[in-house]
Chain A
Amino acid sequence: MIVAGCDIGSLSAKAVIMEGNTVIGKGVVRAGTNPVDSAKEAMAIALGDSGLSMEKIKKIVATGYGKEMIPFANAVESEIVCHARGAFWNLQTARTVIDIGGQDAKAIRMDKNGNVVRYLYNDKCASGTGRFLEVMADALDVSLDEMGKISSQSKEKLVISNQCVIFAETEVVSLVNEGRAVPDIIKALHTAMAGRVASMVLSIGTEDDIIMTGGVAKNSGLFAALSTSLKKPVHSMKNLDPQITGALGAALIASRMSEQ
């Protein structure tokens, strides 16, 4: 049985194709202005990746903020459930999922079967979301993808006291003008952002193991900062792009639906 999951986020669209319990194709594209086009594009890449055509897919579940608009989806499921399902499939010992997307952040607690017990969701404040890092990368004129690597070269500890994107950006500009080293500034930004994320996670209570998903989970510097803030190890997705967790969860739900 071949199924697919499609996750239409604010900044990127993701698709995952599964056969049985194996991921056989995936696609990630930057979201354009039209969610339907983005979904089609991500799906086309995933199909190409698996060498299949659309007719072979028995069931497709859509998730993400654009989920209701996807014409080829058979069903929709919430982002919370999909992220929990995807993370749990990858790491069965996971009980807490921290998912940071381009414009939101979620903390999800699961039971031993991977069912959602409690969650918290922030899309009201840009702090603690991918946008925080995006704005700072812009201000520092570095690539978003390299922030983790650059922060590992930090030698001196700096403190960024603001968590608000707007105020923290001002602090960054002052630090640059003071002649502070970019790796030190980036490390301080990771710490500030981790503080914001940790306070959200702690408010629903953490249970081991903790796993981080979403595009921001590709940033090794944030992983380190978050582990420090939570005083616990934070796991990463094994052998899988953390950005496709939601799409993976949607595919797993499609798979279960088609079995019934």
Chain B
Amino acid sequence: MSIVAGCDVGSLTAKAVIMEKGRIISSALLRSKTNPQLSAEAVMQEALSKAGLSMDDIRYCIGTGYGRKNISFVDKDISEIACHGRGARWLNPGARTIIDIGGQDCKAVRLDKDGNVVKFVANDKCASGTGRFLEVMARLLDIPIEEMGSLSSKSTAPITLSSTCTVWAQADIVKYINSGHKIEDIGAGVNSAMAKRAAILANSVGIEQDVCMTGGVAKNEGVVQDLEKLLGKNIKKMRKADPQIAGAIGAAIFAMESLNGRS
């Protein structure tokens, strides 16, 4: 048996994927705990128990994500950029431009036709355009973050946020709420502000099709549709697996390659 695993410990969530013969046999996603090691152990344990396996069954494990240097059970760690690129290619072999929006960062990666990283940019300095922006606004609107995306299609008169900064935008949103604007119109404005920031990053690496989105925000259809409009390109849906676990998938694929290379 050549069972491998990838573990992606992000700022807000931890993800684990277990693969065998190029197929996902189990995956898990949890809210991050107080330290990366605890998050990694918990998410890995959940993925293992879903598959009815124990840690001893994993022949090779690769860690990624911001907490990757602090996971004791991995054989190796690889950058998020490489793992998201590889994961996106597995989800869609035609992927060339990948926009990954995580809980506290936003990245754009352009790959060549063989899947090698040609160019990438990342923002982890400013909360605007990251999942955090969305989270802060969802809390203000008092709706679950999973429901933010659907607001865009319900909106008839979306607001326009004039501030990019999360702090200033927060104050703007409070004003909109107090002046009686509809939740869906405000939510649609938030989604479109997210898309604007992501488009800047995507354009700076250059757009080549297929364009794909990974990370938790890829599940927000409002952001995805606004981004399609801004880029003038379709964003390919990735139905093979949850786009939020793309990094962990990439890590598992690298683990598989490491194992094959070694044997």
**Which positions in A face B, CB cutoff 8 Å?**
103, 124-126, 131, 135, 162-167, 177
Contacts and interface: CB of A to CB of B under 8 A. Distances in A.
22 contacts: A124-B164, A124-B165, A124-B168, A125-B165, A126-B165, A126-B166, A126-B168, A131-B167, A162-B125, A163-B125, A164-B126, A164-B127, A165-B127, A165-B165, A165-B166, A165-B167, A166-B127, A166-B133, A166-B136, A167-B104, A167-B132, A177-B34
Nearest to A134: B167
Contacts of B167: 126, 131, 135, 165-166
Interface of B: 34, 104, 125-127, 132-133, 136, 163-168
Contacts of B164: 124-125
Closest 9 CB pairs of A and B: A126-B167, A166-B127, A166-B166, A165-B167, A125-B165, A164-B126, A126-B165, A164-B127, A167-B127
A163 B126 CA distance: 8
A125 B34 contact: no
Contacts of A165: 127, 165-167
B34 A166 contact: no
Contacts of B126: 125, 164
Nearest to A103: B168
Given A124-B168, A165-B127, A166-B127, 20 more contacts: A103-B168, A124-B163, A124-B164, A124-B165, A125-B164, A125-B165, A126-B166, A126-B167, A164-B126, A164-B166, A165-B166, A166-B132, A166-B133, A166-B136, A166-B166, A166-B167, A167-B104, A167-B127, A167-B132, A177-B34
Contacts of A164: 125-127, 166
A49 to B, nearest CB: 32
A205 to B, nearest CB: 23
A103 B104 CA distance: 24
A39 B126 CA distance: 34
B218 to A, nearest CB: 21
Contacts of B127: 164-167
The CB with the most chain B CB atoms within 10 A, among A103, A125, A162, is that of A125
Contacts of B132: 166-167
Contacts of A131: 167
Between B132, B133, B167, the greatest number of chain A beta carbons within 10 A of the residue's beta carbon is seen for B167
Contacts of B168: 103, 124, 126
Nearest to A178: B34
Contacts of A103: 168
Nearest to B104: A167
A86 to B, nearest CB: 26
A228 B232 CA distance: 48
A28 B34 CA distance: 44
A251 to B, nearest CB: 30
B62 to A, nearest CB: 26
Contacts of B34: 177
Nearest to B168: A126
A126 to B, nearest CB: 4
Contacts of A125: 126, 164-165
A125 B222 CA distance: 25
A125 B127 CA distance: 10
A163 B127 CA distance: 10
B196 to A, nearest CB: 14
By CB atoms of chain B within 10 A, which of A131, A135, A162, A164 has the most?
A164
Nearest to A167: B127
A125 B166 CA distance: 8
Q: Counting chain A CB atoms within 10 Å of each CB, which of B34, B164, B168 scores highest? A: B168
Contacts of A162: 125
Contacts of B166: 126, 164-166
A4 B126 CA distance: 40
Nearest to B127: A166
A139 to B, nearest CB: 13
